[in-house]
């Protein structure tokens, strides 16, 4: 099986963890607050209408 | 004409930059970058305008957001809010890498068993540390269900401990084996149909188009699997985090 | 050498027997989903997510068998 070549193990783990780390930082700093702010402003406008 | 010698040939990793350290740039890292690019495009570019009325792409992201938020809230309650970015990015990584691998002639990141199993082992180790730091020695109370009679205790503790350790492998192996066997199945079936169509007899070539319906069904099953395995991975990770935080 | 090859193929065929259990498990999951939905239709959406989770877990067990047979065929 080509999956079991030990030559690439460290490389896979390094790149995979690097990308997941970058994604966690991106999503916690930029993406999720932006979605939340849109939700909050929608809720605010709904309350304002009443 | 394109030949596939063995169905496992699609999982081979090519080395683009000849560098012997772990920093070398391979197919795996290329596809990781691709997943990050798709993630960045969907999440950052879509919300750049900051409009309140959502377009179709915004709907996609908002649906994923509310699904993940519901999952985290229903499993962990209010204590689990700080794990939401972790679950969101894990889900996005799994979903986009699985969907990219369903495009023909592309590489499957999650079929690399070593990567998925090491990821699940890392998650399991982090959860064990989290539980030990949070509850000190009371964490081992996780291994004994409440209300067991005294003679049964040693066996139950052994069984629970083994099942807890087996989680570390089974979580990653489930994802990896699903992707691996799905892609192998598609390759083998398509090779079978290719042999039929390329045969010299006209009737056999016509007959070879009949399995196309089955292949269509299996391709759609694989698309469903790609989304569902990402979901199952995240649900199980959530329930393990819940075990570590609340102890039952 | 031929005997080893024959043993390999026979083992690969026998490894798929485990799919029996996966099929039964899938049937049980969806039968329970139908049963629960028929008893209380208002719980349909929450039952469906649990059924999907159960389906994913059950299907993975079957795919372990399939993976074993593929590994016997191509990896050993």
Closest to B88 in 3D by CA, of B74, B72, B100, B75 = B72
The pLDDT of residue B3 is above 70: no
- What is the rounded average pLDDT of the residues B164-192? 89
Token duo for residue B10: 């699609």
C-beta atoms of C67 and B6 within 8 A = no
- CA distance from start to end of chain A: 64
Q: How far is B136 from chain C (nearest CA, A)?
A: 32
Using pLDDT thresholds of 50, 70 and 90, give the confidence band for residue B1: very low
Which chain B residue has the Cα nearest residue A34? B47
C-alpha A16/C-alpha B176 separation (Å) is 14
Query: Which domains are present in chain C?
Result: 1-75 (1.20.20.10)
Query: CA triplet B70, B77, C32: central angle to 5 degrees?
Result: 60
Least confidently predicted of B69-78, B231-240, C55-64? C55-64
- Which residues pair with residue B15 across a beta bridge? B26
Phi, psi at residue B15, to the nearest 5°?
-100, 115
Contact (Cβ atoms closer than 8 angstroms) between residue B174 and residue B110: no
B177 in reach of chain C (CB within 8 A): yes
- CA distance from start to end of chain C: 14
For B246, residues 6+ apart whose C-beta sits below 8 A from its C-beta are B79
* Distances from the Cα of B198 to the Cα of B7, B28, B194, B210, angstroms: 18, 33, 6, 14
- What is the rounded average pLDDT of the residues A17-23? 94
Taking the domains of chain B in order of start, what are their residue ranges?
9-245
- What is the rounded average pLDDT of the residues B122-133? 94
The pLDDT of residue B8 is above 50: yes
* A2, A25, A30: best to mutate for the B interface, most B CBs within 10 A: A2
- Which residues pair with residue B26 across a beta bridge? B15
Token duo for residue B156: 């139950």
The pLDDT of residue B2 is above 60: no
Which residue would you say has higher pLDDT here, C72 or A18?
A18
Using pLDDT thresholds of 50, 70 and 90, give the confidence band for residue C14: very high
C9-12 CB contacts, 8 Å cutoff, 24+ apart: C9/C73, C11/C69, C11/C72, C12/C69, C12/C70, C12/C72, C12/C73
In A, residues 1-30, which contact B (CB 8 Å cutoff)?
A: 1-5, 8-20, 22-24, 26-28, 30
**What was the ipTM of the complex prediction?**
0.91
B231 in reach of chain C (CB within 8 A): yes
C-alpha B173/C-alpha C73 separation (Å) is 19
A1 in reach of chain C (CB within 8 A): yes
Which chain B residue has the Cα nearest residue C61? B174
In C, residues 33-72, which contact A (CB 8 Å cutoff)?
A: 71
C-beta atoms of B88 and A27 within 8 A = yes
Which residue would you say has higher pLDDT here, B23 or B109?
B109
For B168, residues 6+ apart whose C-beta sits below 8 A from its C-beta are B120, B121, B124, B125
* pLDDT number for residue B68: 92
The pLDDT of residue A23 is above 90: yes
Across the interface, of C57, C63, C75, the residue whose CB is closest to B177 is: C63
Which chain A residue has the Cα nearest residue C71? A1
Which residue would you say has higher pLDDT here, B4 or A2?
A2
Full-model pTM: 0.89
Q: How many residues does chain A have?
A: 50
Touching chains, A (3+ CB pairs < 8 A): B, C
Q: What is the overall mean pLDDT for chain B? A: 88
Which chain C residue has the Cα nearest residue A1? C75
pLDDT tens-place string over residues B20-54: 788 889 999 999 999 999 999 888 777 666 677 77
- CB-count burial class (<10 Å; 0-12, 13-18, 19+) for C65: buried
Burial string for B143-156 (b: 16+ CB within 10 Å, else e) reads: beeeeeeeeeeeee
């Amino acid at each position: 099986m080509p999956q079991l070549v030990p030559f690439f193990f460290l490389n896979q783990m390094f790149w995979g963890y690097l990308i997941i780390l970058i994604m966690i930082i991106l999503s916690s700093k930029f993406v999720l607050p932006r979605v939340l702010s849109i939700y909050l402003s929608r809720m605010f406008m709904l309350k304002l209408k009443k | 004409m394109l030949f596939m010698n063995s169905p496992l040939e699609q999982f081979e990793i090519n080395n683009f930059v000849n560098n012997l350290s772990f920093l070398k740039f391979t197919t795996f890292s290329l596809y990781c970058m691709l997943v990050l690019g798709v993630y960045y495009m969907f999440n950052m570019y879509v919300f750049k305008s900051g409009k309140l009325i959502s377009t179709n792409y915004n709907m996609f992201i908002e649906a994923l957001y509310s699904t993940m938020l519901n999952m985290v809230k229903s499993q962990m309650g209010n204590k689990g809010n700080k794990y939401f970015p972790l679950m969101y990015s894990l889900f996005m990584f799994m979903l986009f890498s699985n969907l990219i691998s369903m495009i023909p002639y592309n590489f499957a990141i999650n079929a690399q068993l070593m990567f998925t199993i090491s990821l699940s082992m890392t998650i399991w180790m982090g959860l064990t540390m989290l539980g030990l730091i949070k509850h000190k020695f009371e964490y081992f109370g996780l291994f004994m269900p409440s209300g067991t009679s005294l003679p049964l205790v040693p066996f139950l503790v052994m069984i629970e401990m083994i099942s807890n350790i087996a989680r570390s492998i089974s979580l990653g192996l489930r994802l990896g084996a699903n992707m691996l066997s799905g892609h192998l199945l598609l390759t083998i079936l398509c090779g079978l149909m290719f042999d039929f169509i390329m045969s010299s007899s006209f009737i056999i070539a016509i007959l070879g188009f009949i399995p196309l319906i089955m292949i269509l069904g299996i391709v759609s099953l694989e698309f469903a699997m790609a989304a569902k395995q990402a979901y199952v991975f995240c649900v199980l990770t959530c329930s393990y985090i819940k075990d570590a935080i609340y102890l039952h | 050498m031929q005997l080893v090859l024959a043993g390999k193929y026979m083992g690969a065929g026998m490894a798929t027997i485990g799919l029996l259990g996966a099929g039964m498990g899938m049937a049980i999951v969806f039968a329970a989903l139908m049963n629960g939905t028929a008893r209380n239709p208002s719980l349909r959406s929450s039952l469906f997510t649990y059924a999907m989770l159960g389906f994913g877990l059950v299907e993975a067990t079957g795919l372990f068998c399939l993976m074993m047979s593929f590994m016997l065929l191509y990896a050993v």
